[in-house]
Amino acid sequence: MKKAFTYQDEKSNKFWTIDYSGLTIGVHYGKNGTIGKYEIKEFSSREDCEKEAKKLIASKMKKGYQENHIYDFDNCLYVDVGEYGPHPKTSHPRFVAHFIEEFYYDCGDEEAPFGSDEGSDTLNEMQEIIRKKHTIDFATFPKHLIESLWGMHYIAVDTLDEKTVRDIAKEHEMDMLQSDMVTYATAFGQIKITGKLDSDLKKNALLALKRFAIMYSSGKLTATQQTMYNNLLTF
């Protein structure tokens, strides 16, 4: 369940939201007009979770917060809490609704968008920039990250011809690998943070998944990769 509250007086103009279900509470708070901060709390039972949620809500209302029934949860930027990593409570509602498989929040599955070192680092870099600047050119971010921040060479997907891909990989395998993983991680990351996806980035991410499969699984997407491809295609 999601609820939003606002507090305004001569000195303050703040928001506080709560998202609680199952065993987890997510809260988002800050000054209106800012990204704000996120916090997550986990509980051993649904009863304890709901009890704490009601307690937190009562506390805010006692302090003068008023419930905002028209709060736009879609018009927020979502960033993770460091110790928890990717989490539904710190992801855009459109991401949560469309990408329902658990591996989208898995930090250890190498095939998952944010499970590899490259994918995790990509999401972390994006979120840090969002916290500071509130905006990113997502379409050009993969090239910027790899070349400007990591000092490596970005290899765009210009072809899916198997022989050409393998020939390039013979000399530039690591560059190509990182280019593909960062590209599709950026696409999933943009949706996770903003609920939107740049059309050029979407196209490049789909191509990157296919090229990655050519290099490492004879051109056939694994079950996880196929799910990622299908979900991204239909977003």
DSSP type of residue 19: E
Domain 2-75 adopts which CATH fold?
q64v53_bacfr protein fold (2.20.140)
Show Cβ contacts of residue 102 under 8 Å, excluding neighbours closer than 6 positions. none
Q: Which of 76-80, 100-104, 209-213, 216-220 has the lowest mean pLDDT?
A: 216-220
Of 117, 142, 122, the closest CA to residue 201 belongs to: 142
pLDDT tens for each residue of 95-116: 999 999 999 999 999 999 999 9
Check: CB of residue 87 under 8 Å from CB of residue 80.
Answer: yes
Residue 91: per-residue pLDDT: 98
Say what the pLDDT of residue 161 is: 93
CA–CA dist 156, 144 (Å, integer)? 12
Distance, CA of 14 to chain centre: 25
Residue range 26-41: mean pLDDT, rounded: 95
Region 4-13 average pLDDT? 92
Burial of 94 (0-12, 13-18, 19+ CB in 10 A): middle
- Predicted confidence at residue 124, as pLDDT, reads 97
What confidence category does residue 10 fall into, taking pLDDT thresholds of 50, 70 and 90?
A: confident
As a whole number of angstroms, the distance between CA 48 and CA 163 comes to 58
Summarised one tens digit per residue, pLDDT across range 13-22 is 999 999 999 9
Instruction: Report H helices in the chain.
Output: 46-62, 93-98, 117-133, 141-143, 162-194, 199-216, 223-233
* Phi, psi dihedrals of residue 124, rounded to the nearest 5°: -65, -45
Name beta bridge partners: 28.
17, 38
pLDDT band, very low/low/confident/very high, at 42 (cuts 50, 70, 90): very high
Position 75 scores a pLDDT of: 94
Q: 11 pLDDT exceeds 90?
A: no
Domain ranges of the chain: 2-75, 115-233
pLDDT (0 to 100) of residue 68? 96
**What phi and psi, each to the nearest 5 degrees, are found at residue 165?**
-60, -45
* pTM recorded for the entire structure: 0.96
Mean pLDDT of the chain: 96
Share of the chain above pLDDT 70, in %: 100
CA distances from 63 to 7, 33, 56, 67 (A): 9, 21, 11, 12
Contacts of 1 (CB under 8 A, 6+ apart): 19, 20, 21, 53
